[in-house]
Amino acid sequence: MSENKLKTTILGLNDKGKLLLEAALATGLFQIEAIADKDINLVEKKAEELNCEAFDDYRQLISSTDARFESDNRVLLVAAETHICEEYLKMAIKKKFNCLKLPPLARYFDEAAEFVRLAEEEDVIFTIANTGRYAKGFLALRDYVIKKKLEDIFLMTVFCTFSEPPVDTWHTDPKLSGGGVLLYNCYKIIDQIVLNFGLPQQMYSINTNQAKDRQQRLYLTEDTAVVTLKFTDTLVGNIITSRRKGIGPQQEYLRFFDKDKILTVNDKQLNIRDSNGEVTAHEEFEDTELERLTLLLKDFAMSIMSPEENKPISTGRENLNSMAVIESAYLSARTGFPESPAKIIDLPSSAAGIQMGFD
């Protein structure tokens, strides 16, 4: 049975890494050969349960690959923070690992582009685990966009609040983290915006954080951001996001306005009101993050095992668009001027803005 499974290594056993491991096992398509984490006690206990090797040295884990197993379909599942594993992820790609990384793709656009370049040079699959693409609420939104049920949209608003601030100090260090609430908490929503509506032509952003001292704020990542987006002359939007203790229950939603309806959607529900504010449709969904991640991992596995019938999903190349949007927001916050994501990825703005047909 294990002969038909993908030989798999897991990098990082934090809470998200444990969920990633659970989902990989649930697919029945991955044979866990090794796991690694800086907490050796944790990783040794889990390795004993799985009858696999345990490492607390990421370099040793990757460099010993050839001695541990030979396979044309090596897989690395990455849950470790990018500032910890960036060097070893590059090593793995050069050793022909097909990689799946939990979002964000990277800390900076240049770093993201380097990951993608290496993966394409080595001809391996590099996937970002955007589970929002498998959430039933967002799948319903995708259906609306594809079927042109939102063809007269003129305004989108995105609202995201998160009730707990980051507890790890690296989150507040711009060099280690690359960003704050936009990069780490809004990546899923930004992926949905880009997937369904393409790149904004222009963006203007302001942000701040909870530090009391003005000088200190210059060296901390953002806890609050307001971003204005211009897609076309007839479609604009904004993102309002914040994270702080005591802000209230977490909320994430996208709201779209067209000439005769208002559609509000998140990963759990979809709601439509008419121009008078009356509810005309309401759907709620019960799928879990584990279920979405399991579906995504199945598709990732099949893109490796049967590439002729299964295209790679949520590739690193696709995710460069989301990274360009985030990079543009941070650049605008620094310069005080509108910025263009298309310039970040060196594409003509006209080509970047027609992905979903919004001429």
Helix, strand, or coil here: 155? strand
Strand ordering across the sheet containing 30-36: 53-55, 30-36, 6-11, 75-78, 98-101, 126-128
pLDDT of residue 352: 39
Cα(119)–Cα(126) distance, integer angstroms: 6
pLDDT of residue 72: 67
Count of residues making up the chain: 359
Residue 40: φ, ψ to 5°: -65, -35
Instruction: Record the tokens describing residue 175, joined without a space.
Output: 């060099």
C-alpha distance across the termini of the chain, in Å: 51
- Note if the bond before 104 is cis, omega within 30 degrees: yes
pLDDT of residue 216: 66
pLDDT of residue 353: 36
Residue 337: φ, ψ to 5°: -125, 160
Cα(176)–Cα(178) distance, integer angstroms: 6
Instruction: Record the tokens describing residue 353, joined without a space.
Output: 């803005």
List, in order of start, the domains of the chain with CATH numbers: 2-130+290-314 (3.40.50.720), 133-286+320-352 (3.30.360.10)
Q: Which residue has the tokens 């200190």?
A: 216
pLDDT of residue 148: 81
> Which amino acid is present at 215?
Q
> Which amino acid is present at 48?
E
Is the separation of the CB atoms in 329 and 204 below 8 Å? no
pLDDT of residue 215: 63
pLDDT of residue 122: 96
Helical packing angle, 316-335 and 109-122, nearest 10°: 160
pLDDT of residue 1: 44
pLDDT of residue 350: 37
pLDDT of residue 172: 87
Instruction: Record the tokens describing residue 339, joined without a space.
Output: 């910025």
Instruction: Record the tokens describing residue 199, joined without a space.
Output: 């790149």
**Tally of CB atoms within 10 A around 290:** 14
Instruction: Record the tokens describing residue 270, joined without a space.
Output: 């979809």
- pTM of the complete model: 0.91
Q: Please, which residues have CB within 8 angstroms of residue 190's CB and are 6 or more apart in sequence? A: 182, 239, 322, 325, 326
Give the pLDDT of the chain (359 residues) as one tens digit per residue.
456 899 999 999 999 999 999 999 999 999 999 999 999 999 999 999 999 999 999 999 998 876 555 556 899 999 999 999 999 999 999 999 999 999 999 999 999 999 999 999 999 999 999 999 999 999 999 999 998 888 889 999 999 998 876 667 888 888 999 999 999 999 999 999 999 999 999 999 999 987 777 666 667 899 999 999 999 999 999 999 998 776 667 889 999 999 899 999 999 999 999 988 899 999 999 999 999 999 999 999 999 999 999 999 999 999 999 999 999 999 999 999 999 999 998 744 333 333 333 32
DSSP code at position 339:
B
> Which amino acid is present at 103?
P
